[in-house]
Amino acid sequence: MYEYTKYEKYVKRFWKIYIFTILFFISEYYIQVFLLFLTIFPYPPET
């Protein structure tokens, strides 16, 4: 049987936190881009 190392157990336990932090920083970046886009084009085009 393959035995997990302490590091692998730590990763298995906290990988959701890692993904959450990465998604948080990515979403922060996209929110800034989106707000910049809104300042350039304040109103959506009329269809």
1-47 pLDDT per residue, tens: 567 788 888 888 888 888 999 999 999 999 898 888 888 876 666 66
Cβ–Cβ < 8 Å for 12, 4: yes
Alpha-helical (H) ranges within the chain are 6-40
Residue extents of the structural domains in the chain? 12-41
pTM: predicted TM-score of the whole model, two decimal places? 0.42
